[in-house]
Amino acid sequence: MLHLIQPVPLIEENIWDEEKVSDWSRSAEWPSAGAWPADPTRIPDADKQCDFCDDDTCACDNATAQVAPQIKSYRAKGLGLQAVASEPGGVAYEKGAFLGMFSGEIAPPKTYDNNQTPGFL
């Protein structure tokens, strides 16, 4: 079955469509003075823009691991990612290494009832 898994088109930025989430209820963690609904991925210009450096504009999110993790079946747990070293017995990733971006379409909680949808605060 794993041989049927194919790469999916790369989504380089999160997709936020305010019209699709107009009835999305405000999270308890959302600032009371903040506009709603609002793009949860937007970082105000005055805030630090990158978790990896102090530059105002950078390319940290373009860096990816030299060897991509592999999709693996973990039986009862389902599909997951397995770290892969560039040479046998080597270290796959150093602590704190940036493996890549996690992006997709932003949807209200409980929009999809499947194990492929992560939740965010």
Q: What is the mean pLDDT of residues 20-42?
A: 80
Q: What is the per-residue pLDDT for 57?
A: 83
**Which is higher by pLDDT, 56 or 1?**
56
Q: What is the per-residue pLDDT for 116?
A: 63
Q: What is the mean pLDDT of residues 54-73?
A: 81
* Stated pTM of the model: 0.51
Q: What is the mean pLDDT of residues 38-46?
A: 82
Q: Please give the C-alpha separations between residue 10 and each of 14, 76, 84, 114, in angstroms, as whole numbers.
A: 11, 28, 21, 21
| Burial (CB count <10 Å: 0-12, 13-18, 19+), residue 120 | exposed
- Report the distance separating Cα 93 and Cα 66, nearest Å: 9
Residue 21 pLDDT exceeds 60: yes
Q: Please give the C-alpha separations between residue 83 and each of 11, 67, 93, in angstroms, as whole numbers.
A: 22, 9, 7
Residue 3 pLDDT exceeds 70: no
Q: What is the mean pLDDT of residues 64-69?
A: 78
Give the ranges where 1-121 is alpha helix by DSSP (H). Answer: none
Q: What is the per-residue pLDDT for 24?
A: 78
Residue 120 pLDDT exceeds 60: no
